[in-house]
Amino acid sequence: MTMLIALFWRDLRRAWGSGALWLPVLFFLLVATAFPFAVGPDTPLLQRAGGGMAWVAALLAALLPIDRLVRPDRDAGVLDQLAVRGVADEVIAAVKIGAHAVGFGLPLLIALLPASALLAQDAGRMETLATGIAIAIPALASLAVLSAALTAGLKGGSAIGGLLVLPLAVPLLIFGAGMLDPSGRGAIKLLAAVSLLLTAIGPFAAGAALRGLRE
Amino acid sequence: MVLLRFDRVACIRGDRLLFEELSLALAPGEALWLRGPNGAGKSSLIRVAAGLLRAAAGTVERFGRVALIDEAAALDAELPLRRALDFWARVDTVDGHTVDRAMEAMALHPLAEVPVAMLSTGQRKRAAMVRVIASGAPIWLLDEPANGMDDAAQARLVAAIAMHRANGGAVMLASHFALGVPDLADLDMGARA
């Protein structure tokens, strides 16, 4: 247990250390700032499209740091040292998913506040957005760690990392953005189901990928 | 009693057979020097012993925890040395005094507050050695532990190995030169290939 806590804090410290805490926040706000300029001064249109844009930005913010989630640990020998101590790859993956969920998820939810204003989302829509993104954060972290583990052994792998998990992220986007539609009553349940599924398979899939890195 | 046992082990890297039919046993207090030229399979044998590589044939048994040194130090470069070592102390659930004593054994106390990124190769090897000593694991697997170490540090390494063996530990040492460890069995990987 001490070991799991030590691993979790190390990952979180590295995620937030040296100003990296603000990276997903800045990225998220950048998209929220640029989007209204691109759409033009049509408030109803911005309101309709803004929620979907926030979802796309949240997905990309989760995938932003995939090149520092696994590869530095592999290169520094940290993964080998943990394996020598008999720590299961699935456990390492689960801790990394948890730390990434907190590491990018918390700042993202805070950034959602100003972003909603920029995207002309009213209080009700903002609440729906925040609920949906909060539900999806573990799944987004799971996908990020999975693609980081799959591409850690490749040169320039992070570029294809996003492409790898995009098909898996599509249901999150559909149901997440669907929650904002007045007719999308069941969307939150489907979103929660997809998020649960992705979060549950994440540690096993990413753990298998970590094992593959050693061969 | 045996701490580490290889029974007719073979190792294949890529499509090259590095060694086969390798049997050995390490009992408490014993040390084995893996010698041989570059590419003879010393590091691969260490990784097989550590369980990081699967043996292509045969069985590897470990009776006790393992501490490993390889070419990567596994210390966070941005942290002061002491905090980087404390992380592994928490993973190994050993207390600060154990780390203190291990740092003393490798004479690293003056560097405790220096970021790992600023350390030289030899100093980083000494830091990795501190992690091995502090871990309290009975089986030490040391892959080129003396690389970059000066004479004084090598003497401390040899002393640490002697102390570990006196306390009932076993050491497997891969090195292309003799370190001056007394009473050392050796396995010439070059002669087997």
In which order are the strands placed within the sheet that holds B139-143? B66-69, B139-143, B170-174, B31-35, B185-188
Q: Once rounded to an integer, what is the mean pLDDT over residues B60-66? A: 92
What local confidence, expressed as pLDDT, does residue B147 receive? 86
Pairwise CB contact (< 8 Å): B52 & A6: no
Beta strand extents in B102-180 (DSSP E only): 139-143, 170-174
Q: Which residues of B touch A81 (CB under 8 A)?
A: 68, 74, 88
User: What ipTM did this prediction achieve?
Assistant: 0.92
Q: How far apart are the first and last CA of chain B?
A: 30
What local confidence, expressed as pLDDT, does residue A55 receive? 93
Q: How far is A204 from chain B (nearest CA, A)?
A: 19
Pairwise CB contact (< 8 Å): A2 & B70: no
Question: Is pLDDT above 70 for A119?
Answer: yes
Q: Give the pLDDT band (50/70/90) at residue A203.
A: very high
Question: Is pLDDT above 80 for A19?
Answer: no
Cβ-based neighbour number of residue B191 at 10 Å: 9
Chain A nearest-CA residue for B87: A6
B115 Cβ partners below 8 Å, 6+ apart?
A: B77, B78, B79, B80, B81
Structural contact between residues B162 and B181, judged by C-beta atoms closer than 8 angstroms = yes
Q: Which residues of B touch A6 (CB under 8 A)?
A: 87, 90-91
- Tell which wins on pLDDT, B176 or A56: A56
Q: Give the pLDDT band (50/70/90) at residue A87.
A: very high
- pLDDT tens-place string over residues A122-139: 898 999 999 999 999 999
User: What percent of chain A clears pLDDT 70, i.e. is strictly above it?
Assistant: 98
Q: How far is A81 from chain B (nearest CA, A)?
A: 7
Cβ-based neighbour number of residue A17 at 10 Å: 12
CA–CA gap between residue B121 and residue B148 (Å, rounded): 6
- pLDDT tens-place string over residues B140-190: 999 998 888 899 999 999 999 999 999 999 999 998 887 888 888 888 887
| Beta strand pairing call for B16-26 and B4-13 | antiparallel
Q: Once rounded to an integer, what is the mean pLDDT over residues A143-172? A: 86
Structural domains in chain B? 4-192 (3.40.50.300)
Each domain of chain A, given as residue ranges in start order, spans 2-214
The residue among A91, A99, A83, A207 whose CA lies nearest residue A150 is: A207
Q: Once rounded to an integer, what is the mean pLDDT over residues B91-120? A: 91
- pLDDT tens-place string over residues B107-142: 999 999 999 999 999 999 999 999 999 998 999 999
Q: Which residues of A touch B88 (CB under 8 A)?
A: 81
Chain B nearest-CA residue for A82: B91
Q: What one-character DSSP code corresponds to residue A68?
A: G
Pairwise CB contact (< 8 Å): A85 & B91: yes
What local confidence, expressed as pLDDT, does residue B193 receive? 54
What local confidence, expressed as pLDDT, does residue A64 receive? 85
Average pLDDT, chain A: 90
Q: Once rounded to an integer, what is the mean pLDDT over residues A45-56? A: 90
Cβ-based neighbour number of residue A166 at 10 Å: 14
Name the token pair of A45. Answer: 């249109």
State how far the alpha carbon of A196 is from the alpha carbons of A100, A172, B72, in Å. 16, 11, 37
Q: Which residues of B touch A78 (CB under 8 A)?
A: 74
